[in-house]
């Protein structure tokens, strides 16, 4: 009776979290075994493309360090361009990981379980790309250590009223928190890999990283609370980090930058582009790694709903910026929003941003769009292109035409700018491929717990 009742219950559920009948054994096999397989040809080609791109990134970095920021397209007045755009874009993408693993844990959203490891890894690698730029875009990167408050022989301290100092603390705290949160969640899985692998050498490697975890009840007792606390701390942290990143612009006096809408609008934008990147990576990953049974349409649909929500907040952000510019009657503000952005030389990027960030997410109102995997992938790529354009519009258009018309000037990127942008994307991809290959993409421990819980819950339901 239990079997048929279980079956009946499943049809009633909207979309199952775990498809098909599974128990710990099958979960272990599907989630952990591919770690031992030899790398498939698909993975290898992608990996080598990634390594090529990383080479391009290293070339861009070497040229920038050797000759100077002049190799980029930056000039006066547009002193910030690709360097800061990429930084904000990557840190924005990173935030989705923490959102899924921390905020959804606090909201006890069950669908987070199978995608939280995946998203956290993406956070880590995105923050690594983001962390590259605050040092690389410095004029004298070899003095970057002055940004940290150490007692120096010239007895002078950093200046803590500057948003860039807050950035230094925010990004380093965020990276540390994400790393520790990710590793804590990974320890039980590493122990499973240590015990499940056949070859002694792989057992030794995973054994080292599992630092002797044996799943003792006394440890689980502290583990649950520690994991919950880290999630609890990571939630305000992720909101504060992107608020501080938005303060890099909001605390200036430039028209188009110093609007108070920036913090919520940037955080929503970050979550929006973060979910899009999760989707972009997840759709191909779930197909090649055969994880369709754990990352079901329910997860993709839930994510597209979140993207719809945050997309609307971003759209609201644009609307409010334009309204305040008009309402405030400040001639500099209205010039930036209604002349420079809409009709200036960079209007093409402005309209591309409008299309990708506002028009594309509206399609998620319709179930066929939320459930069509191929469409979701295309939409997620477009959204990330749109978010990059949004940062470009914010940074470059406000700088290249501001208060005094005599110093208005055009900005043109150079090959080094593009090599850094596509180089970081390739490096991000390489890291992600390594993660997919050598670590379980889905948190096997939490999934077994979820399966047990679902079944247990269902059995109670059936009994009553």
Partner 1 sequence: MSALFKPGANTSFRVTLVVLALLLGGGLVAGPMIYVRSPYFTQQQDPVDQPVQFDHRHHVGDEGIDCRYCHSLVEKAPNAGVPPTSVCLNCHEQIWNKSPKLAPVRESYFADRPIVWNKVNKLPHFVYFNHSIHLKQGVGCVTCHGRIDEMALVEKAQPLTMGWCLECHRNPERFLRPREEITSMTFRPRDQLALGRALKDQYHVHTRVSCTTCHR
Partner 2 sequence: MKLPLAGQSRPWRSVEELQSPPAPSRELGPAEPPSRREVLQLLGASAALATMGGCLKPPDEKILPYTKQPPEVTPGNPLHYATCSTLDGRATGLLVTASEGRPTKVEGSPEHPSSKGGIGVLEQAQLLSLYDPQRLKVVQYKSELRSWRDFLATMIAKSRVLRDRRGEGLRFLMEPSSSPLIAHLRQRLLEVYPRARFSSWSAIPLQQIHDGAQLAFGSAYETRIDLSRAQAVASLDADFLSAMPGNARPMKDWAARRVPPNMARLYAVEAHLSVTGMNADHRLRLKPSQVHRFGLALLGRLVPRHAALAKRFSFSAEELRFADVLARDLQRAGAGAAVLVGARQPPVLHAAMHAINAALGSSVVSQAKPVLHEMDAGPRALRVLAEEMRRGAVDTLIMTAYNPVYGATSDINFAMALSQVNTSVYRTLYADETAERAGWVLPAAHPLESWGDARAHDGTISFQQPLIAPLYAGVSEAEMLAALFGEGDRTAYTQLREFWQARVPELGRFDLTWEKWIADGFIPGTAVKAESPAVNHDAVLAEAMKVPPAEKPGLEINVVADTKVLDGRFGNNGWLQELPDPVTKLTWENAALLSPATAAELGVEQGDLVDLTLRGPPARAPVVIAPGHADGAVTVAIGYGRRSDAETLCKGIGFDTSTLRHSDLPWFAPGLALVATGRKARLAQTQQHHSMEGRIIAVSAALPKLRETEEMLEEQRGAPLSFHRPWDYSKGYRWGMAIDLSRCTGCSSCVVACQAENNVPVVGKDRVWRSREMHWLRVDRYFLGEDAANPGVVFQPLMCVHCESAPCEYVCPVNATVHSDEGLNEMVYNRCVGTRYCSNNCPYKVRRFNFFSYTSEYSDQEKMAFNPDVTVRSRGVMEKCTYCVQRIERARIHSRVEGREIRDGEIQTACQQACPADAIVFGDLNDSGSRVSRLLSSERRYDLLHELGTRPRTGYLARVMNPNPELA
Partner 3 sequence: MKRYVLGEFGEPEDCVEALRKLHEAGVQGLDAYSPYPLHGSDEALELPRSKVPLVALTGGVFGALGGYVMQAWMNGVDFAINVGNRPPHGFWTNIPITFESGVLLSVLSIFFSAIFYFFALPRPYHPVFESEQFRTASLDAFWVSIETEEEEPVADLEEKLRSTGARRVHTVVESA
The site for partner 2 (CB under 8 A) is made up of 62-63, 65-71, 73-77, 79-80, 137-147, 156-159, 161-165, 168, 248, 251-254, 331-332, 335, 345, 348, 399, 401-410, 412-416, 418
How far apart CA 427 and CA 408 sit, in angstroms, is 35
Site for partner 3 in 211-250 (CB under 8 A): 211-226, 229-230, 233-234, 236-237, 240, 244, 247
Is 219 a residue that touches partner 1 (CB under 8 A)?
Answer: no
Q: How far is the CB of 47 from partner 2 (least distance, A)?
A: 24
What's CA 319's distance to the chain center, in Å?
A: 25
Judged by beta carbon distances under 5 to 8 A according to partner kind, the member of partner 1, partner 2, partner 3, none in contact with residue 196 is partner 3
How far apart CA 214 and CA 81 sit, in angstroms, is 50
Q: How far is the CB of 145 from partner 1 (least distance, A)?
A: 9
91 CB neighbour count, 10 Å cutoff: 30
CA geometry: angle 264, 117, 27, nearest 5 deg? 145
What lies within 8 Å, CB to CB, of 368 at 6+ separation is: none
Judged by beta carbon distances under 5 to 8 A according to partner kind, the member of partner 1, partner 2, partner 3, none in contact with residue 405 is partner 2
State the burial class of residue 63 (Cβ atoms within 10 Å of its Cβ: 0-12, 13-18, 19+): middle
Among 9, 203, 292, 305, binds partner 1 (CB under 8 A): 203
Stretch 143-182: interaction string toward partner 3, x if CB under 8 A: ------x-----xxxxxxx---xx--xx-xx--xx--xx-
Q: How far is the CB of 214 from partner 3 (least distance, A)?
A: 6
Is 157 a residue that touches partner 1 (CB under 8 A)?
Answer: no
CB 397 within 8 A of CB 341: yes
Q: How far is the CB of 61 from partner 2 (least distance, A)?
A: 8
DSSP-derived letter for residue 18 is: S
Number of residues forming the site for partner 1 (CB under 8 A): 13
DSSP-derived letter for residue 355 is: I
Among 152, 176, 328, 339, binds partner 1 (CB under 8 A): 152
Give the position of tokens 């059936």: 462
Give the position of tokens 């390489």: 430
Is 150 a residue that touches partner 1 (CB under 8 A)?
Answer: yes
Judged by beta carbon distances under 5 to 8 A according to partner kind, the member of partner 3, partner 2, partner 1, none in contact with residue 237 is partner 3
222 CB neighbour count, 10 Å cutoff: 9
CA Rg, the chain, in Å? 24
Is 208 a residue that touches partner 3 (CB under 8 A)?
Answer: yes
Q: How far is the CB of 191 from partner 3 (least distance, A)?
A: 4
Kindly state the helix (H) or strand (E) to which residue 148 belongs, with its residue range. Answer: none
Q: How far is the CB of 324 from partner 3 (least distance, A)?
A: 22
DSSP-derived letter for residue 35 is: G
Q: Which two tokens stand for residue 14?
A: 């909207």
Judged by beta carbon distances under 5 to 8 A according to partner kind, the member of partner 1, partner 3, partner 2, none in contact with residue 109 is none
Q: Which two tokens stand for residue 218?
A: 């006394």
Is 348 a residue that touches partner 1 (CB under 8 A)?
Answer: no
CB 435 within 8 A of CB 441: yes
How far apart CA 6 and CA 21 sit, in angstroms, is 10
Closest to partner 2 by CB, 78 or 186: 78
The residues binding partner 1 (CB under 8 A) are 150-156, 194, 203-204, 207, 211-212
């Amino acid at each position: 009776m239990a079997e048929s009742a279980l079956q009946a219950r499943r049809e009633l559920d909207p979309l199952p979290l775990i498809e098909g009948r599974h128990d710990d054994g099958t979960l272990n096999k599907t989630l952990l075994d591919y770690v031992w397989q030899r790398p498939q040809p698909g993975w290898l080609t992608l990996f080598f493309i990634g390594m090529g791109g990383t080479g391009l990134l290293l070339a861009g970095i070497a040229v920038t360090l050797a000759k100077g920021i002049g190799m980029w397209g930056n000039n006066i007045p547009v002193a910030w361009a690709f360097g800061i755009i990429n930084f904000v874009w990557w840190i924005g993408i990173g935030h989705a990981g923490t959102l899924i693993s921390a905020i959804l844990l606090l909201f006890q959203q069950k669908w987070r379980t199978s995608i939280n490891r995946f998203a956290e890894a993406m956070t880590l690698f995105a923050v690594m790309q983001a962390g590259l730029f605050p040092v690389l875009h410095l004029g004298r990167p070899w003095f970057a250590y002055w940004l940290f408050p150490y007692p120096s022989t010239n007895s002078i301290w950093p200046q803590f009223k500057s948003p860039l100092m807050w950035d230094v603390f925010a990004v380093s705290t965020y990276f540390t928190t994400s790393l520790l949160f990710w590793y804590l969640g990974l320890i039980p899985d590493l122990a499973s890999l240590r015990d499940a692998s056949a070859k002694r050498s792989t057992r030794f490697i995973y054994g080292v990283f599992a630092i002797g975890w044996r799943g003792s009840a006394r440890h689980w007792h502290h583990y649950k609370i520690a994991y919950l606390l880290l999630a609890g701390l990571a939630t305000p942290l992720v909101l504060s980090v992107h608020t501080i990143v938005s303060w890099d612009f909001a605390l200036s006096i430039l028209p188009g930058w110093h609007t108070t809408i920036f913090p919520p609008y940037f955080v929503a934008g970050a979550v929006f582009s973060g979910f899009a990147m999760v989707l972009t990576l997840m759709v191909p990953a779930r197909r090649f790694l055969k994880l369709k049974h754990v990352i079901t349409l329910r997860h993709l649909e839930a994510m597209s709903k979140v993207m719809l929500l945050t997309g609307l907040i971003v759209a609201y952000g644009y609307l409010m910026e334009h309204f305040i510019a008009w309402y405030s009657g400040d001639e500099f503000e209205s010039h930036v929003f209604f002349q420079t952005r809409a009709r200036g030389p960079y209007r093409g990027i402005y309209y591309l941003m409008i299309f990708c960030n506002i028009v594309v997410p509206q399609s998620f109102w319709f179930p066929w769009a939320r459930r069509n995997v191929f469409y979701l992938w295309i939409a997620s790529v477009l959204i990330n292109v749109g978010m990059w354009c949004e940062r470009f519009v914010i940074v470059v258009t406000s700088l290249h035409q501001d208060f005094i018309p005599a110093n208005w000037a055009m900005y043109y990127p150079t090959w080094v700018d593009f090599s850094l942008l596509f180089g970081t994307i390739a490096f991000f991809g390489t890291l992600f491929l390594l993660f997919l290959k050598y670590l379980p993409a889905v948190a096997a421990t939490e999934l077994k717990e979820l399966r047990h819980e679902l079944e247990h819950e269902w059995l109670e339901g059936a009994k009553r």
